[in-house]
Amino acid sequence: MTRYKIIIEYDGTDFVGWQRQDNGFSVQQAIEEAITGFSGERVALYGAGRTDSGVHALGQVAHFDLERDTDANTVINALNFHLRPAAITILSAVAVDDAFDARLSAKGRAYVYRITNRRAPLALGRGQSWWVPVPLDVAAMHEAAQVLIGKHDFTTFRASYCQAGSALKTLDELSVTQTGDLIEVRARARSFLHHQVRNFVGTLKLVGEGKWTAEDVRRALEKKDRAAGGPTAPAEGLYMVEVVY
């Protein structure tokens, strides 16, 4: 029995999310079926984190155990063959110690949220970023984002149905940058609450529009009430970009 760690890139547009669900096809299901397709084994795939329907990944990490005697290169090639035409690619595979766990061994996770900030709608890249046609003040958004860095009770920015035992998290980075029409919000922490990054972005958009200030964001955080925060940004702009071990 060999445990493999794989790094995965996917377009979440046509999936119900990472986790297997009864209401549609998931990324987890697609990869598990691909593993069965080349090995004949039914295996469980464990991811570093769940992503919602429409959320993408550039560096999702997962692990699975395989009885078949093979090697990492074969795993990559065989999985990519059996995954076609799904919008999922296995970027790398490596045999790891049995103690490795894609979720529990992770020391940090990074997400990027992409906003296309221009008047004209998207002809290309639809479903890949949030189109916001009104001008946004990126400097003000970045300044307000710094209020959220550190260890806080993030109840204001968690989904009402979040299953995490505690809303207390430590946010290591929340930055807002712009290149041309593309605005990127980068978030880094050991772990995140459900919808936390998307709720950050929805709130920071209010700042960018001039409707909120950094002080408004601070007050919202201190209220520890989801109703005090901004709206949830659409799933299509969110990317899981890195898992650190």
Annotated active-site positions, please?
52
Q: For residues 75 and 34, what is the distance between their CA atoms, to the nearest angstrom?
A: 10
> What is the 8-class DSSP label of residue 193?
-
112: closest CA among 236, 237, 245?
237
Strand-pair category, 56-66 with 238-244? parallel
Reported as half-sphere exposure (CB side, CA atoms, 13 A), residue 231 has a value of: 6
Region of residue 128 (phi > 0: left; psi between -120 and 50: alpha; otherwise: beta): alpha
Whole-Å CA distances, 3 to 8, 38, 50, 99, 147: 16, 16, 20, 9, 41
Residue 242, SS3 per DSSP: strand
